[in-house]
Structure 1
Amino acid sequence: MKISEKNFSRIFHVFLCAIAVSIIFRKPCSILIIIFGVFNLLFAKRLKFNQKALILVFCIASPILLEVIMFWNNDSFSKGLKALEKSISLVLFPIFIIGNYERIQFLKLVKIYSTIITILMLFFFIRFNIVYPELLIKYLNGIDLWEMGYQFSNSIGIHAPALNMHLAFVSICSLYFVFSSFKNHEKAVIKAIQILLFLMSFFFVLFVNTRMALFNVLAGFIIVFFFEINSNFNIKKIIIAGITTAVMLSGILYLFVQKNPYMKEKYSSITFAYMDKVGKLDEIDHPEIKVFNSFVTRLSIWKSAWELSVKNLPFGVGASDGKPELFKYYKETNQQFLAKYEFPTHNQFLDFLLKFGFLGPLVVILYIGTIGYLGFDLKNAIIVSFFFLFFTSNLTDDFLLRFDGIVFSGFWTSVFAGFWLQQNAIRNKDPEVA
């Protein structure tokens, strides 16, 4: 099959854009990944790898490579294969994206992705209010505000923390392009559109309203601002844009909190309630009401996961047996609340420690640390923000257990790696290019 380089690069870019946008929709994304894989296999001769590229492929594929190496530790062959299947994109993405690294249009891809996701969220927000008007009325009257973001996420078909991790990254990217529009002296209408997209993206983070995402999006804003301050562009314009953005953000946040008083409770008394009941949640009257989303529940889960992990060193319980063994341990230690709701580890480092023993957390550090290395070496605010976002998100959740978390991180890390290889090639050709 013959195709010109221009057309191949164009199709490759369309695939990247389509996959990036579809990650929050599991079935369409799965189909796109399969088609993307077949397309690249047909043109496998176009793939190029140097030593650095192969090292990056290994780092990104390390979680699934660990599963393959430790496959013998699974009690069930079929369940082991099922666990392995979820991570297959960690092989496909690094091979086919890094192998085509010269064709990656990084900023164009990120801009298209953040714009389309924001517009899609606006569509789903309008749809949510039309299809579920009773929920809107309930929330406007201050009833069950805690469930608002979860109901919205469920209407799309994705778990709220996973959705908000994506939205936090979109909002960070949107802020980056706000600054870019000022730096590049773009027309006033372009600046206005970019600011509007940014404000909408931030509103959706607030609407879904998960704690880590809000923390991460604000941290990402700070990272973008300071990276822009340290760039070679007009500091005065960056400061003006930063102050303007901060004022608008503060206004949105203030108005949202006024309409959603539950946020004050959620981020204060609810989050840190009953901290003396770690491992003793059943002593609380109706824990499902009082501490379901509290930090004490996370700590109780982590305590159990740690104890069980220590008992199963050095090789862990196996990739397919992490959850069942943890749920079994809840019952053995008479933790009825945790057993009833079958809470997973909610910490990726502990999850891999439980499944794979000593090697588990080391692989997670290698995987996430690769993102940090790429970002700091390139001095790129988007990549550094993604690293911070994914690292902190996995301290309180286990996104390498979920399709959306695996594909989200594997896809973008491969894109970042390809962009790093591009820039590395430019620096090697011209040592003065930094």
Structure 2
Amino acid sequence: MSFIWSFAISSIMFGVFLLFFFIDKNNVSHKLKILSKNRAVLIYGLYFIFILVGLSYSQNWQQGLNKVISLSPLIILPAIWISEQLNLKHYEVILKYVKYLVIFSFLLLIFNHLYIESRQLGTFVQYAIYRRIGASQFYIAFILFIPILHCFYELEKKKQLVINILCITFLFFCIMILNNKTSFVLAFVLLLIGLYKVLRTSSLKIKILSVITISLVFLLLMSYSTKEFKSKYEVFVKTTDFDIEIIKTKNSVTYTQNTFEHRILIWNISLSEIIKNLPFGVGTGDYQEVLYNRFEEINFKTGLKLNLNCHNQYITEFLRIGLLGGTSFLILIFYLFQKASFKDKYYLFMIFSFAISCFFESLLERQHGVMIFAFFIPFFLGYDKELKSVLHE
């Protein structure tokens, strides 16, 4: 729950997890034995080692050290979840309470925004998310996917039909007001997957009624964001160029709003720096400074004002720590994908969402993204593994 409310509490909980891991004296040696044979933990560790190597040749040592500290959960949290061996009851109790706590949290945020601060719903992201939480709405969408997945799982088992449909409706509404294109696309994919799993064993009559009802609700929710998405769509269609020199010129003379062009420009700059600094990259502490200096060279006004990052985690890794770091990150993503199956209730969607999002966002530049990669993905890997083993029995 600290994911929604506080960076500080998340950091404290990370320390608490680490403390509990080592004070369990009777099982520490057994846990370490499990971890020594687990490939996921070893690849997470290898990736983190390359981040440390990148620190060794960074000119901005302090910035690099800060980055190492912020990424340290990647070597600790996966190890904790994989070695603790929680049973199915533990997971289901956690997810049950998380569902209602997430809904309650968003009800509070919306109520405070509308009735205490007397603001319009259209400004929810700017005030309730950016200013209050200090995180991009893209990261917050991930915490909404979890209770949606739980609702669909319970609907599959024909449990609390009305309550879960109401919960899904509200949670999709929350995603709509976050007003993020990537989150919206992922939510639509999640809706299709959820409907398929729920309706495949239902009667034809229930299938038709369910599709009509949920489609109407979905269209109603979309109507809220129509203006925002239409505005972004018009900006994309009317202003997008694919000639890099034209993009450079436009962005050097004015502050532009075409985020797609921003990405093309940043990726072009980053790729040239990757080639220039092969095979080791620019260093764990220097990659953002290198980008900023290139922004100054071409007078990229929006990039300088917002100090934009790569907006692509794969490119970020190759820029930061070169071939070794970038390759180890790709191997880690590939291995985590290998552990997924279409029978998963949570894990497949979480790792798919993360991997796809890494093409458009530098997720590990924020604590929220680190927690998704280090905490949620290993958590659901363990849950779906436990769930399949119980169902197999």
Task: Note whether the superposition's TM-score is higher than 0.5.
Answer: yes
State the partner residue of 1:45.
26
AA partner of residue 180 (structure 2): T
Whether 1:165 aligns to 2:141 is: yes
How far 1:127 moved relative to its partner? 0.8
Output the CA distance in 2 between the equivalents of 1:414 and 1:375. Answer: 11
Kindly indicate whether the alpha-carbon contact (under 8 Å) linking 2:35 and 2:83 is maintained by their aligned counterparts in 1. Answer: no
Whether 1:247 aligns to 2:228 is: no
Q: 1:349 to 1:176 in 2, by over 3 A?
A: same
Q: 1:44 to 1:60 in 2, by over 3 A?
A: farther
- Per the normalisation by structure 1, the TM-score is 0.79
Kindly indicate whether the alpha-carbon contact (under 8 Å) linking 2:351 and 2:377 is maintained by their aligned counterparts in 1. Answer: no
Output the CA distance in 2 between the equivalents of 1:238 and 1:383. Answer: 26
Q: 1:60 to 1:308 in 2, by over 3 A?
A: same
Tell me which moved more, 307-316 or 327-336: 327-336
Tell me which moved more, 111-120 or 366-375: 366-375
Kindly indicate whether the alpha-carbon contact (under 8 Å) linking 2:87 and 2:386 is maintained by their aligned counterparts in 1. Answer: no
Pick from 339, 354, 360: which aligns with 2:325? Answer: 360
How far 1:284 moved relative to its partner? 5.8
- Cα offsets for 1:42-99 (capped at 9, x unmatched): 1043253547962121234444232123332222333322111001111221222111
Pick from 68, 76, 92: which aligns with 1:84? Answer: 68
Output the CA distance in 2 between the equivalents of 1:223 and 1:385. Answer: 9
Output the CA distance in 1 between the equivalents of 2:236 and 2:45. Answer: 35
The SS at the match of 1:396 is: coil
Kindly indicate whether the alpha-carbon contact (under 8 Å) linking 2:252 and 2:300 is maintained by their aligned counterparts in 1. Answer: no
Q: 1:86 to 1:69 in 2, by over 3 A?
A: same
Q: 1:172 to 1:194 in 2, by over 3 A?
A: closer
How far 1:191 moved relative to its partner? 2.2
Whether 1:294 aligns to 2:270 is: no
Q: Which runs of 5+ in 1 are unaligned?
A: 1-20, 140-144, 428-432
- Cα offsets for 1:164-210 (capped at 9, x unmatched): 43245236425424xx23x4343xxx322222221111111111101
State the partner residue of 1:113.
98
Output the CA distance in 1 between the equivalents of 2:199 and 2:40. Answer: 30
How far 1:150 moved relative to its partner? 2.7
Kindly indicate whether the alpha-carbon contact (under 8 Å) linking 1:309 and 1:357 is maintained by their aligned counterparts in 2. Answer: yes
Tell me which moved more, 334-343 or 76-85: 334-343
The SS at the match of 2:339 is: helix
Q: 1:152 to 1:320 in 2, by over 3 A?
A: same
AA partner of residue 418 (structure 1): G
Kindly indicate whether the alpha-carbon contact (under 8 Å) linking 1:170 and 1:201 is maintained by their aligned counterparts in 2. Answer: no
Pick from 14, 25, 28: which aligns with 1:33? Answer: 14
Output the CA distance in 1 between the equivalents of 2:163 and 2:36. Answer: 39
Equivalenced residues, count: 385
Kindly indicate whether the alpha-carbon contact (under 8 Å) linking 1:174 and 1:197 is maintained by their aligned counterparts in 2. Answer: no
Q: 1:397 to 1:235 in 2, by over 3 A?
A: farther
Output the CA distance in 1 between the equivalents of 2:228 and 2:158. Answer: 41
Output the CA distance in 2 between the equivalents of 1:155 and 1:218. Answer: 27
Q: 1:323 to 1:269 in 2, by over 3 A?
A: same
AA partner of residue 347 (structure 1): N
The SS at the match of 1:265 is: helix
1:16-415 correspondence to structure 2 within 5 Å: 21-24=1-4, 25-47=6-28, 48=31, 49-50=33-34, 54-103=38-87, 105-133=90-118, 135-136=119-120, 148-170=124-146, 172-177=148-153, 180-181=154-155, 183-186=156-159, 190-228=160-198, 233-234=201-202, 236=204, 240-254=209-223, 256-257=224-225, 261-266=227-232, 268-276=233-241, 278=244, 280-283=247-250, 287-288=254-255, 291-376=256-341, 379-415=343-379
AA partner of residue 29 (structure 1): S
Kindly indicate whether the alpha-carbon contact (under 8 Å) linking 2:284 and 2:321 is maintained by their aligned counterparts in 1. Answer: yes
Kindly indicate whether the alpha-carbon contact (under 8 Å) linking 2:287 and 2:319 is maintained by their aligned counterparts in 1. Answer: yes
Output the CA distance in 2 between the equivalents of 1:374 and 1:110. Answer: 21
Q: 1:220 to 1:249 in 2, by over 3 A?
A: same
Output the CA distance in 2 between the equivalents of 1:339 and 1:406. Answer: 25
Q: Which runs of 5+ in 2 are unaligned?
A: none
Kindly indicate whether the alpha-carbon contact (under 8 Å) linking 2:54 and 2:320 is maintained by their aligned counterparts in 1. Answer: no
Kindly indicate whether the alpha-carbon contact (under 8 Å) linking 1:153 and 1:160 is maintained by their aligned counterparts in 2. Answer: yes
Output the CA distance in 2 between the equivalents of 1:216 and 1:197. Answer: 18
CA RMSD, 1 decimal: 2.8
Q: 1:223 to 1:295 in 2, by over 3 A?
A: same
AA partner of residue 343 (structure 2): K
Q: 1:243 to 1:359 in 2, by over 3 A?
A: farther
How far 1:351 moved relative to its partner? 0.6
How far 1:382 moved relative to its partner? 2.0
How far 1:148 moved relative to its partner? 4.5
Kindly indicate whether the alpha-carbon contact (under 8 Å) linking 1:56 and 1:417 is maintained by their aligned counterparts in 2. Answer: no
Q: 1:284 to 1:301 in 2, by over 3 A?
A: closer
Kindly indicate whether the alpha-carbon contact (under 8 Å) linking 1:305 and 1:326 is maintained by their aligned counterparts in 2. Answer: yes
State the partner residue of 1:8.
none
Query: Aligned residues: percent identity?
Result: 17
Output the CA distance in 1 between the equivalents of 2:43 and 2:71. Answer: 14
- Cα offsets for 1:80-129 (capped at 9, x unmatched): 22111001111221222111124463344333223211210110111112
The SS at the match of 1:199 is: helix
The SS at the match of 1:99 is: helix
The SS at the match of 1:157 is: coil
